[in-house]
Amino acid sequence: MAVRLRAGGLVYAYIPGRPVLRGITLELRSGETAFLLGPNGSGKTTFLDCIGGLRPPAEGEVLLDDRPLGSFSARERAQQVGYVPQFHEPPFNFTAWEVVLMGRAPYVRWLSQPKERDRRAADEALAALNLAGFRDRPYYTLSGGERRLVLVARGLAQGAAFLLLDEPDAHLDPANQHRVLLAVQEVVGEGLGAAITSHSPNNALLYADRVALFSTGEVLAQGAPGEVVTPPLLERAYGIPFVSVGDGPGPRAVLPSLEDQRPTRSRNP
């Protein structure tokens, strides 16, 4: 039976009277990968914060299988909903393996040591992203992209029912984007649910089961990737024209259209 994480009518404002979420209703399901697309400032990360229990909404509710998320203890919530931020700066110079092992914190009792199953989960998460060679490297010596991979591994090690990832494909080369998103697909295939914010419509076409397109704090459209990642809807969200590229019944890729968009260059006489 699918587990559901449901947001109903979420409203959130950093500044009173200027909401960045305007009554968003969206459901995440175990066994599915949902991509959240939209321009900068459209509310994607704030939405993740709210459904992850990091920010209480001003209005609306978040339910995990009909139970209010706010009724869970912090430990219970972390065992059900994992969060992978865009950036993380630990206060000490931990190794990559130690950072990944922190994902097991919800299962380790106060003043206790991680058990063998926790260490094994950290090793398996590193291996899933081909990071075994990073195990003993200090986190601060890693590049920005390498740190991002380690944070995703920490999220995988957490073993929660839902994994929320804030732009895990940012600052990564195409091979590492594929590595991360394929690893997420694999754990989703085992029953986990995932929500991914991204600025890549084409990654949504490749890896998503469902897509929600955000615009000015609202969900402009949601549904199957081929129904949402379309030039007309993307133009409404981003304000520039798009074109579909590729053969077959559905788009293989969508790209910004350069027609009538190139700057006019004056020629010297």
- Please indicate, yes or no, if residue 181 is contained in any of the structural domains: yes
C-alpha–C-alpha distance, residues 183 and 53, integer Å: 24
For residue 177, the domain's CATH number is 3.40.50.300
How much is the pLDDT for 14? 95
- Please indicate, yes or no, if residue 78 is contained in any of the structural domains: yes
- Please indicate, yes or no, if residue 169 is contained in any of the structural domains: yes
Residue indicated by tokens 């914060």: 49
- Please indicate, yes or no, if residue 190 is contained in any of the structural domains: yes
C-alpha–C-alpha distance, residues 158 and 162, integer Å: 10
How much is the pLDDT for 25? 96
- Please indicate, yes or no, if residue 148 is contained in any of the structural domains: yes
SS3 of the chain: the string is CCCEEEEEEEEECCECCECCEEEEEEEEECCCEEEEECCCCCCHHHHHHHHCCCCCCCEEEEEECCEEHHHCCHHHHHHHEEEECCCCCCCCCCEHHHHHHHHHHHHCCCCCCCCHHHHHHHHHHHHHCCCHHHCCCEHHHCCHHHHHHHHHHHHHHHCCCEEEEECCCCCCCHHHHHHHHHHHHHHHHCCCEEEEECCCHHHHHHHCCEEEEEECCEEEEEECHHHHCCHHHHHHHHCCCEEEECCCCCCCEEEECCCCCCCCCCCCC
Where the chain has pLDDT below 70, the residues are 1, 247-251, 260-269
C-alpha–C-alpha distance, residues 10 and 67, integer Å: 16
- Count: domains in the chain: 1
CA atoms within 13 A on the CB side of 69: 25
- Please indicate, yes or no, if residue 21 is contained in any of the structural domains: no
Range of the domain at 139: 30-54+74-256
How much is the pLDDT for 264? 53
DSSP-derived letter for residue 146 is: H
How much is the pLDDT for 193? 94
- Please indicate, yes or no, if residue 262 is contained in any of the structural domains: no
DSSP-derived letter for residue 256 is: E
Instruction: Point out which residues pair with 265 in neighbouring strands.
Output: none
How much is the pLDDT for 249? 67
For residue 223, the surrounding DSSP H or E stretch is strand 218-223
Which pLDDT tens digit goes with each residue over 64-115?
A: 998 999 999 999 999 999 999 987 887 778 999 999 999 999 989 887 899 9
Q: Using an 8 Å Cβ cutoff, are 50 and 62 in contact? A: yes
How much is the pLDDT for 35? 98
Exposure string of 44-63, with b = 16+ CB inside 10 Å and e = fewer, is: bbbbbbbbbbebebeebebb
- Please indicate, yes or no, if residue 265 is contained in any of the structural domains: no
How much is the pLDDT for 214? 98
In this prediction the pTM is 0.88
